Amino acid sequence: MDLSSYNNHYRILVAVDCIIFGFYGTQLKALLIKRGFEPEKGKWSLMGGFVREGEGIDEAANRVLHQLTGMKSIYMEQLCAFGDVNRDSAGRVISIAYFALINSTDYNKQLQLEHEAKWFPLSEIPELIFDHQKLLLKAKERLREKVACNPIGFELLPPKFTLPRLQLLYEAIYETPFDPRNFNKKMRSLGILNKLNEKERGSSKKGAYYYEFNSQNYKNVDKGIKKIV
């Protein structure tokens, strides 16, 4: 086998970078780490790493996510490739970016300490290394596009939630308020929520009913007609 056409080409490193979103209180946040090596050591960064020999890019992204969160079976989606020639000051690196959604109540906070990680509201993101700000903004745009017609937003919530809580999530994603009556009516009309015989009593005397996402019903929804928001 003649490999000269391969051997004569410049070798380029391939990395994965993960934009991890979580929902806290009324804010959508991104998980950032303090970079532990040069160049740009000690500065804020996305969690990432180089693709290892014998490892697919999806496998690499799952490994990186597990290292930082301690979680498996995370909702993860490939975003796009970033390959500007000078994007990494240490060498020629092409990054495959992914965005992930996690339920913050399941997050392993001990790993957060080990990686010097911190949750930042999207409106308070510090200066990031290389082109990581560009990656994060791209992920934010994609998230808004996806949640309009797909139920991935539920990945950011616990299994049971109230409609006011769900509305706060969508308001955080779109950075705009929704009318409660219209929002509740729309959500109920989709047929993808199960109302539970249980109330959350912390926010008011009357309390709000808990709901859960019905994934089986969602499969039967006409995607061309039904939009979540």
| pLDDT tens digits for range 55-92 | 999 999 999 999 888 888 899 999 999 999 999 888 89
Overall domain count for the chain: 2
Query: Rounded distance, CA 162 to CA 188, Å?
Result: 12
**Domain identity same for 174 and 136:** no
Say what the pLDDT of residue 224 is.
Answer: 46
Give per-residue pLDDT as tens, 93-143: 999 999 999 987 787 777 777 788 999 999 999 999 999 999 999 999 999
SS3 of residue 145 by DSSP: helix
Report the sign of the C-alpha dihedral through residues 8, 60, 99, 39, in that order: negative
Q: What is the CATH number of the domain that holds 186?
A: 1.10.10.10
116 inside domain:
yes
Q: Is residue 74 domain-shared with residue 165, that is, in the same domain?
A: no
CATH classification at residue 100: 3.90.79.10
Domain end call among 115, 147, 179: 147
Tell me what pLDDT residue 225 has: 43
**Residues 204-222 pLDDT 10s:** 667 899 999 998 887 776 5
Do 68 and 44 lie in one domain? The reply is yes
Instruction: At 85, list the tokens.
Output: 């020639």
User: Is the residue at 227 inside a domain?
Assistant: no
Judgement on whether residues 86 and 10 belong to the same structural domain of the protein: yes
Please state, rounded to an integer, the average pLDDT across all residues of the chain: 90
Q: What is the DSSP string of 129-147?
A: STTHHHHHHHHHHHHHHHH
Q: Quick check: is 229 in a domain?
A: no
Same domain? For 210 and 160 the reply is yes
Q: Which residue has the higher pLDDT, 202 or 167?
A: 167
Query: Residue 203 has what pLDDT?
Result: 66
pLDDT at residue number 223: 52
Q: Over the stretch 19-61, which tens digit does the pLDDT of each residue have? A: 999 999 899 999 999 998 899 999 999 999 999 999 999 999 9
Instruction: Report the pLDDT value the prediction gives residue 6, as an integer from 0 to 100.
Output: 73
Q: What is the dihedral of CA 46, 51, 57, 63, to 10 degrees?
A: -60
Task: Report the chain's terminal Cα–Cα distance, integer Å.
Answer: 55
Q: Do the domain assignments include residue 225? A: no
Among the candidates 147, 178, 210, a domain finishes at 147
Q: What residue numbers bound the domain in which 31 lies?
A: 4-147
187 and 76 in a single domain? The answer is: no
Tokens read off for 21: 């979103």
Which of 83, 113, 147 finishes a domain?
Answer: 147
| pLDDT value of position 8 | 76
Q: Check whether residue 113 and residue 166 sit in a common domain.
A: no
Asked whether residue 44 falls in the same domain as residue 85, the answer is: yes
Enter the pTM of the model: 0.90
58 and 133 in a single domain? The answer is: yes
